[in-house]
Structure formats: structure tokens, C-alpha cells
């Protein structure tokens, strides 16, 4: 039997995550890795989660924790999120919140909700690889979202029509983006909202790193800016995707979508068809820990990751040869390198793994058109100062060797 003959056409769009494949190569002695953009497990609030799980599985709560539940999510956790959204200038109710199995599931659901084959999604260049993977399943075209550029709404619409569909949404990781570490400033956020109004499309605001700011003043979320302009979340086109993966625990897979109830109610139908609801036990544990230590714990994360970011920026200044440039993020987990023109990040990785024993993620995978091979992503979240300095020195040697 040739299974390919009966697979849906969408499978032609779906590729293995290059980061996931890369991580399989890193379980070797002596490799310093800046590849995995993941939290440091040494910083997980293990004691708080042990207490939370014990409470959730106590005689008074175990039936709720282990039973089927509502698709919208655990009500006390949604209430905590509502309070946090309010602090960001996003007044909302339970009807505006859906708990998802990580924000990755939220991106998949939003793609399923809005994209028909040949429709267009506007994304940054580069953008989060996981978003490209989630949206790819629904067979869209991608066009370049360029805040600060000179493209008109008419140009975007015309190009989408030539591809046989229409523009459906603009997606952006707005704070300390994966992969670049860059943040959309206030003017850029306003421009994305204006473009969305002109095109009559949705805006997907990926806020996975919002709590990890180390320098500078916070920029209001796009949803908050839109509410300030339109008066109510129900009048807004922005859908805010949040996550506990970068702050509390990625393994529990708890995230959320906040947006107009008309959209959230449709996402609930998708969740009912997909997995009924996110794990109740995990939601109850996250709720307990968030209410107990979220502010103090995220402050600890910011102190630790800021020091590691600073160490990597210092190492880059010390070791990198001429012709290499990099971003200087105000938060998050990533620094983006641009290599001299003509260099290939994939070839560099193969050489660096074999000779210098240092790993990173080639940048090409973050571009919808597979361009810009002379780029790469570094993550500083898992390495200590000694590893960072040694690893960047090794990477610089690999770049010099070509």
C-alpha cells in the first residue's frame, strides 16, 4: 500500500521541525549548545508544583482533577488570567478566554479557524518556526509583514488574490521575538493594527515572552492598544496568545487565547473536536502556582536570563570576527546573528558540530521562503557564563574557518 496516495494534500506542506531534529544530535559529550530555545529546568518551581499536585489530588479535589471538564478551561485559572490581562490594559471576561494545550495549540486552532487553501497569512521575515508549521497544515501562502515598510493594503490584497485567496490575518511575535529577539515598537504595532483595519483581517499577537523583559519600558500589547481605540474587546480584531511555558513549566502545556467572544466560541468548537479540553490536573496545578509565586518567580527568571544575555552579548563583542552582526534584545531568550554574505548557516552548523563542538539553529528555517541562509539563532537560556564565553569563542572560530 502506498500511504502517500491517501494522505491529504496538506501533508505536502508539513515538514519536520528542524530544531526538533537538531536536538537529536546534541546528546553528545563536549557539545556546547545554543540551539534549544527552552527554559532552564534548574529554574522550574518544583516545590511549588509538588504542593500544587498534592492539593489537586487531595480527596476534595481529585475527582475534578481527574475527570472530564469544560472545553473553555478551568474557571479559577481563567479568572487569574483575566486579572493579568487587566494589568496589561485588556479588560475581559471568561467568555474572552480559552485555555489551550500551550500557545502552539492556539496557533494551530487559529490557522484551522481562518485559513482555507490558497489564503494568505502575513508573517514577519523571519518569524517563529512553530507558527509556520502550524499554519502550513492549512495550505496557505505567506506574504511578508513589513511594519515601517511602504507596502499598501491594496498591494497585499492584490497579491493574495493572484494566489487564489485573500489575506486572513497578520501574525507577529511582538516582544523579544523568536527567533530575532526584536520587539515591535509602538509605532509598528499601531501600523499593524491600521493595516488590519484596512484589509479587514485578524491580528494574531504571540505574547509568549511578554513577561521576560530585562531592559526598557514595556510596550502595550496590540490588543490593549486596539481596546483603547475601539472601547471594548468585542470590537477588536486582535487575538492575544499567552503561555505559561516560558515562565512556569513548558511540560504541562498550558496556554491561552484572549479575544472577542465571537471568536473564542468558535475556537471552543475546534477544541471540543480535537481534544475536548486541556488536562484538568495541569490547569489546576498552574493556577495554584501562578497565584502563589508568579510575580516572584518571573522576577527571578528575569534576573537570571538577563545576566546570561549580557554574558552572550559581551562574548560576541569579544570574539566575533568582522562582518558578523547581531541583535541586542531587551528580553526573551534569543540573539540573531547575520553572517557575511555567501555563508550558509546549515553548512556552518555541520562543520561547527564536527570540529568546534558548538551548536545553534540555522536561520533559513525561520523564513517562509527559505531565504537568508547567512543567518542563525542563538539561545542563551540554558548556558552559564563559562559555557557562553567558550561556546561563542568556538562559534567565532568556526565562522573564521568558513
Q: CA-to-CA distance for 342 and 322, rounded, in angstroms?
A: 15
Q: CA-to-CA distance for 302 and 225, rounded, in angstroms?
A: 25
Q: CA-to-CA distance for 145 and 203, rounded, in angstroms?
A: 11
* Same domain as 202, residue 184: yes
> All 3 cell numbers of residue 94?
471568561
- Strands 120-123, 167-173: parallel, antiparallel or unpaired by DSSP? parallel
Tell me what pLDDT residue 10 has.
84
* Same domain as 330, residue 284: no
**For residue 27, how many other CB atoms are within 10 A of its CB?**
8
Of 275, 293, 311, which marks where a domain is finished? Answer: 293
Entry pTM: 0.95
Q: Residue 270: how many CA atoms within 13 Å on its side-chain side?
A: 19
* Mean pLDDT (10-residue bins), the chain, 402 residues: 86 71 68 92 98 97 97 98 98 98 97 98 96 95 91 96 98 97 97 97 98 97 98 98 98 98 98 97 98 98 98 98 98 98 94 93 94 97 96 98 87
* Same domain as 41, residue 74: no
* Same domain as 357, residue 308: yes
Tell me what pLDDT residue 268 has.
98
Q: CA-to-CA distance for 327 and 176, rounded, in angstroms?
A: 10
Tell me what pLDDT residue 8 has.
87
Q: Are 240 and 259 in contact (CB under 8 A)?
A: yes
* Same domain as 30, residue 172: no
* Same domain as 59, residue 33: no
Of 293, 316, 346, which marks where a domain is finished? Answer: 293
Closest CA to 335 of 297, 387, 392: 392
Cα 152 to Cα 56, 91, 123, 195, 385, distances in angstroms:
52, 32, 15, 8, 46
* Same domain as 316, residue 266: no
Placement of cell 506542506 in the chain: 13
Quote the domain boundaries for residue 93.
Answer: 47-293
Q: CA-to-CA distance for 288 and 11, rounded, in angstroms?
A: 39
Instruction: Annotate 288-353 with DSSP letters as a single string.
Output: HHHHHHHHHHHHHHHHHHHHHHHHHHHHHHHHPPTT-EE---SBSSEEEEEPPTT--HHHHHHHII
* Same domain as 330, residue 268: no
CATH code, 15: 3.90.1150.10
* Same domain as 163, residue 257: yes
* Same domain as 225, residue 106: yes
* Same domain as 244, residue 208: yes
Q: CA-to-CA distance for 58 and 258, rounded, in angstroms?
A: 31
CA angle 183, 36, 204 (to 5 degrees): 40
Instruction: Give the number of domains in the chain.
Output: 2
Amino acid at each position: 500500500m502506498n500511504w502517500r496516495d491517501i494522505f491529504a494534500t496538506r501533508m505536502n506542506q508539513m515538514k519536520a521541525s528542524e530544531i526538533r531534529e537538531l536536538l537529536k544530535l546534541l546528546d553528545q559529550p563536549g557539545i556546547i549548545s545554543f540551539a534549544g530555545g527552552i527554559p532552564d529546568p534548574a529554574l522550574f518551581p518544583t516545590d511549588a508544583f509538588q504542593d500544587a499536585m498534592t492539593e489537586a489530588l487531595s480527596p476534595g479535589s481529585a475527582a475534578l482533577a481527574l475527570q472530564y471538564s469544560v472545553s473553555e478551561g478551568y474557571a479559577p485559572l481563567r479568572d487569574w488570567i483575566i486579572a493579568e490581562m487587566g494589568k496589561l490594559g485588556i479588560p475581559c471576561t471568561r467568555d474572552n478566554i480559552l485555555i489551550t494545550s500551550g500557545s502552539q495549540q492556539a496557533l494551530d486552532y487559529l490557522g484551522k479557524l481562518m485559513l482555507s487553501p490558497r489564503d494568505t497569512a502575513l508573517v514577519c521575515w523571519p518569524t517563529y518556526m512553530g507558527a509556520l508549521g502550524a499554519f502550513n497544515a492549512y495550505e496557505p501562502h505567506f506574504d511578508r509583514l513589513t511594519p515601517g515598510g511602504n507596502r499598501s493594503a491594496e498591494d497585499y490584497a492584490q497579491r493574495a488574490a493572484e494566489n487564489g485567496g485573500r489575506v486572513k490575518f497578520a501574525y507577529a511575535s511582538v516582544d523579544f521575538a523568536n527567533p530575532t529577539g526584536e520587539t515591535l515598537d509602538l509605532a509598528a504595532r499601531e501600523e499593524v493594527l491600521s493595516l488590519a483595519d484596512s484589509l479587514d483581517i485578524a491580528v494574531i499577537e504571540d505574547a509568549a515572552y511578554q513577561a521576560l523583559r530585562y531592559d526598557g519600558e514595556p510596550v502595550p500589547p496590540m490588543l490593549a492598544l486596539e481596546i483603547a481605540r475601539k472601547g471594548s474587546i468585542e470590537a477588536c480584531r486582535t487575538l492575544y496568545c499567552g503561555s505559561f511555558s516560558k515562565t512556569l513549566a513548558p511540560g504541562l502545556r498550558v496556554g491561552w487565547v484572549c479575544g472577542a467572544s465571537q471568536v473564542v466560541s468558535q475556537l471552543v468548537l475546534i477544541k471540543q473536536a480535537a481534544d475536548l479540553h486541556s488536562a484538568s490536573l495541569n490547569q489546576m496545578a498552574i493556577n495554584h502556582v501562578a497565584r502563589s509565586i508568579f510575580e516572584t518567580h518571573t522576577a527571578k527568571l528575569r534576573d537570571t536570563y538577563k545576566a546570561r544575555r549580557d554574558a552572550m552579548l559581551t562574548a560576541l563583542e569579544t570574539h566575533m570576527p568582522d562582518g558578523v552582526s547581531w541583535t541586542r534584545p531587551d528580553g526573551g531568550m534569543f540573539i540573531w546573528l547575520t553572517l557575511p554574505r555567501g555563508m550558509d548557516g546549515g553548512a556552518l552548523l555541520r562543520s561547527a558540530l564536527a570540529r568546534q563542538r558548538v551548536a545553534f539553529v540555522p536561520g533559513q528555517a525561520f523564513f517562509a521562503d527559505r531565504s537568508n541562509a547567512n543567518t542563525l539563532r542563538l539561545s542563551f537560556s540554558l548556558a552559564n557564563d563559562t559555557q557562553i564565553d567558550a561556546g561563542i569563542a568556538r562559534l567565532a572560530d568556526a565562522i573564521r574557518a568558513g
